[in-house]
Each structure stands twice: as structure tokens, then as C-alpha cells.
Amino acid sequence: MRAERIVILDWDTMAYRRDELNARRFGSLAAHVDIYPQTKPEETVEHIGDADIVICNKVRITREVLEACPNIKYIGVLATGFNNVDTEAAAERNIPVCNAGSYSTDAVTQLVFAYIFDYYQKVALYSMEVRLGGWEKAPVFSYFPYPTAELRGKTLGIIGYGNIGKRVAKIADAFGMSVLIATRTVPESCPFPVVTAEEVFRRADILTLHCPLTDVTAGLINRKSLSLMKETAVLINTSRGGTVVEQDLADALNHDMLAAAYLDVLETEPMSPDTPLKGAKNCTITPHIGWTPLEARRRLLDITEDNLRGWLNGNPQHVVNGVQ
């Protein structure tokens, strides 16, 4: 079975350089494939038109869009998160929504530990000191004005115990760290203590978020939860920007209530020039790059194509809204 028309709404989110990935790979699954570099909200209905298959990354597929595009039969999301799609409205129309869970597990885990190493080992800071001549002026052979520390014995608090949370925990354990888990659903077999979020806030030397953005997790990091944390603690967020109240985090950093924060996601993306975190003390922000290693993006496209092929053959997979 082949689709009539596939529309990809925001291909530029997948490939910064045109020669990195090939969107035409979907051509074997449909009579026509239309690829848009980007789609503004007011262009969504026009770009979808009579397409029966919609593939997107961050373009919002709202109830209004679904009502205006009655030919849609399938929505593929080029991401793990699918909060840009009104899954309930899609289910009402018997439209399956399929995501690409687990494609970025290794990539995001790698970024989490890059942050951890940056804070505790300070390689970039020391490299800059050497370039500025600091070592040349040192009175002894070893020059270490900035304190470093071992990971062994540090407590890593993980909120969310999905694929990424599990991988982060496993690597932390290999470094001899103490791991605490807080998760909505207590896993049947977890080798680490499962505690409340409040206990994680209080005990963590490093707190890393790996939870989806839901009504429960929105604003999870706020003035109250930050007040529970150690002044020496480090916050890492590679999940969703909306889990953090940005003004509260900026205030905590600027008043030395928290040692540092490393963020790969913000509430508004691209970053708003008005975000209070832009100039906050000891706040490192990267532009949502955790998922972007080329291997991960290739894997993402493989999963997305396999999802669609499975649905066309009557075997849907990675369905997030219960429609089969």
C-alpha cells in the first residue's frame, strides 16, 4: 500500500546542511512527496492541503488544522516529544500519531555528561587560562586556581526514568555516583532507590531532568523546588524548557542559591532575547543540540520511515494516541 501524498512541513529542522540527509527517501511510500523547509502557523493548512500523510517536527497540528484538512490519515512526528500535536483531536478522527522514541538516547546522555564534565573538570576554562598565559606565569609545575572534583560519591538525582534516564543512571553508576530516581510510575525492577521528587531536590549534587512536559511537570523547577536544593547543586535540563520557571531559576543563580545550571532547552525556542536566563550567573545554555548528532538524526529518519511503512502495511508502531 502506498500513500497518495506525503507532506513534510519543516525539513530544515532536520538538516542544517542540505547534503546531510535525504528527505526523498519517503518517495517509495507515496505517489507524491512535498517538502517544505519551514512552515509558519498561518501556512500550515495551505501546506498540508489534501495530503493524507503529514510528517513534522515542531509544526503545531491543532484541532483547527485537523478540521481544515480532512484528508489527513496519519501524522508522523520527527521527535520523541509530540506535544505539538493535538493527539486527542487526532484520535477522534481515527488518525494515528506516531513518534520516534529512543532515537536520541545515546546522544542526549552524551550531552548530559558533557555538562557534568564541564562543571567538575573545567577543561574549557583551563584551556582558556593556558591560552591567556596563566600557566606560563605559574610558580610551580601545576596550575589549578579553579577547583575540580571527582564524580565518585556525588549524588545524581534523575527525574524521569525512561530510556534516557535509565542510560544516564547506568553511566553514573559506572562512575561510582550515588543515583536517586524520581518517576511518575515506579518501575518494577530498578537497581537504584526510587524516592519522591522532594527528596531528590534535597539530596542531589546534580539534578538532571528526563521527563516529558505534562500538566504535572510544567514548572517543576520553580522557586519552591529550588529552595530545597543544595547551594552547591547543579541543575541540568535536556528535557523540555517548560519544566523550568525561567525567572525563578535566574533568581536562584543570581543569588547563589544554586551553583550552576546547564540547559539545552528553553520555554521559547529559538531563545527569546528577553529570557532572564540569558545573563544569569553560572548558566550555560546550548541551542537544543542534544538530539543533533548525525547518527541520531539518521536513526530518527529510519524510525519515522519504518513507522509509516508499518502503518501502510497494517502494522502501526510507536503510536502515542491509541489509534490502530
pLDDT digits (tens, 9 = 90+) for 205-258: 999 999 988 899 999 999 999 999 999 999 999 999 999 999 999 999 999 999
What pLDDT shows up at residue 81?
86
pLDDT band at 83 (very low <50, low <70, confident <90, very high): confident
Pairing of strands 260-263, 206-209: unpaired
CA dist., res. 144 & res. 26, Å (int): 54
Mean pLDDT of 132-142: 97
What pLDDT shows up at residue 59?
98
Domain that holds residue 115: 105-285
Residue 172 shares a structural domain with residue 230: yes
Distances (CA, A) of 90 to 4, 69, 87, 99, 308: 19, 11, 5, 14, 16
Indicate the average pLDDT of the chain.
Answer: 96
Given the residues 203, 240, 297, 318, select the one marked as catalytic.
Answer: 240
Q: What would the pLDDT profile of 143-171 be if each residue is shown by its tens digit?
A: 999 999 999 999 999 999 999 999 999 99
Residue 136 shares a structural domain with residue 73: no
Residue 155 shares a structural domain with residue 234: yes
The amino acid occupying position 39 is: T
What pLDDT shows up at residue 101?
83
Given the residues 203, 210, 288, 299, select the one marked as catalytic.
Answer: 288
Q: What would the pLDDT profile of 276-291 be if each residue is shown by its tens digit?
A: 999 999 999 999 999 9
Catalytic residue check, 288: yes
Residue 61 shares a structural domain with residue 135: no
Residue 110 shares a structural domain with residue 98: no
% of the chain surpassing 70 pLDDT: 100
Does the residue 321 lie in any domain? no
What pLDDT shows up at residue 218?
96
CA dist., res. 58 & res. 44, Å (int): 12
Does the residue 322 lie in any domain? no
pLDDT band at 1 (very low <50, low <70, confident <90, very high): confident
Given the residues 4, 20, 64, 269, select the one marked as catalytic.
Answer: 269
Q: Where are the alpha helices (DSSP H) in 94-162?
A: 105-121, 123-131
Helices 123-131, 105-121: inter-axial angle, 10-degree rounding = 50
Residue 121 shares a structural domain with residue 205: yes
Catalytic residue check, 240: yes
What pLDDT shows up at residue 17?
83
pTM of the model: 0.93
Residue 191 shares a structural domain with residue 298: no
Number of domains in the chain: 2
What pLDDT shows up at residue 186?
85
CA dist., res. 295 & res. 300, Å (int): 9
What pLDDT shows up at residue 324?
84
Does the residue 276 lie in any domain? yes
